[in-house]
């Protein structure tokens, strides 16, 4: 990569996988660093970040300062189609990767529960708002407008592809993220194991 420069938002590529996985675990504790909680730092990314990149990197964006990736938004245009792809391709690959894995912490065990939960189809909000997203920035990149820039880049792309609406889940303790999503035009539409926010595009 080039020298550090003014951070900019660009479309993600498969080469961003390690950085995206790292940012995911660094923000997986309701927005805070979860590295001390997991025995393997790749675990959260296997559900909430990396598969999106493999599914369609053109719907994923990163903040890049020329020497490092500081944040990302990963999205899929159609959650039902993504669920089918995960069933056929991603979950078997994760199962193989974790064949000898034994949970060693509460977070590890919760990860296995989340893995099982994520293999079930999402409720009806996934039909009403077909796209979904995850967004995370490292602490040094937060509060400077990059979340908004990532969100606008992703929503513009989905809109251009004819997508009608988008949803997301957020930990109910993550008040900062909830404030951000409301500022981005999202409203709560359901309350599952986590609040679900959505907006039309
Ligand atoms: C949540 C997160 C993505 C927001 O990105 P950010 O770069 O910090 O937010 P921005 O500076 O781009 O803010 C964008 C807008 O949201 C508003 N906003 C941000 N946080 C807010 C809050 N807590 N309450 C109300 N508004 C808020 C900003 O004022 C700004 O509004 P404006 O465009 O009218 O000025 C980022 O802080 C983050 O990655 N946090 C840690 C990981 C995380 O929690 N991810 C979400 C998991 S569900």
Domains of the chain: 8-122+133-161 (3.40.630.30)
pLDDT in tens, 140-188: 999 999 999 999 999 999 999 999 999 999 999 999 999 999 999 999 9
Report how far apart, in Å, the C-alpha atoms of 102 and of each of 35, 38, 71, 98, 191 are: 17, 12, 30, 8, 31
Q: Is the CB of 31 under 6 A from ligand 1?
A: yes
Candidates 133, 148, 188: which one to mutate for ligand 1, based on the most atoms within 8 Å of Cβ?
Answer: 148
Please tell me the distance from the alpha carbon of residue 201 to that of residue 188, in angstroms, as a whole number: 15
Share of the chain above pLDDT 70, in %: 98
Q: Is the CB of 146 under 6 A from ligand 1?
A: yes
Q: Is the CB of 177 under 6 A from ligand 1?
A: yes
Q: Is the CB of 148 under 6 A from ligand 1?
A: yes
DSSP assignment, residue 86? I
27 and 88 Cβ atoms separated by less than 8 Å: no
Read off the pLDDT of each residue in 125-137 and give the average, rounded to a whole number.
97
65 and 40 Cβ atoms separated by less than 8 Å: no
Share the mean pLDDT of the chain. Answer: 96
Nearest CA to ligand 1 atom 4: 147
């Amino acid at each position: 990569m080039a020298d550090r420069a003014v951070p900019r938002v660009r479309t993600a590529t498969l080469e961003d996988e390690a950085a995206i996985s790292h940012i995911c675990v660094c923000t997986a504790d309701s927005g805070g660093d979860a590295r001390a909680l997991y025995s393997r730092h790749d675990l959260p990314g296997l559900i909430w970040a990396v598969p999106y990149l493999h599914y369609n990197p053109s719907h994923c964006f990163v903040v890049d300062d020329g020497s490092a990736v500081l944040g990302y938004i990963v999205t899929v245009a159609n959650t039902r189609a993504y669920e089918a792809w995960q069933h056929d391709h991603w979950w078997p690959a994760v199962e193989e990767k974790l064949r000898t894995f034994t949970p060693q912490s509460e977070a590890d065990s919760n990860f296995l529960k989340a893995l099982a939960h994520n293999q079930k189809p999402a409720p009806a909000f996934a039909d009403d708002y077909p796209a979904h997203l995850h967004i995370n920035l490292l602490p040094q990149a937060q509060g400077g407008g990059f979340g908004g820039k990532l969100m606008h880049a992703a929503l513009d792309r989905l809109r251009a592809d004819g997508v009608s609406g988008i949803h997301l889940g957020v930990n109910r303790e993550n008040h900062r993220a909830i404030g951000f999503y409301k500022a981005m035009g999202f409203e709560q539409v359901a309350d599952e194991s986590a609040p679900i926010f959505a907006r039309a595009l």
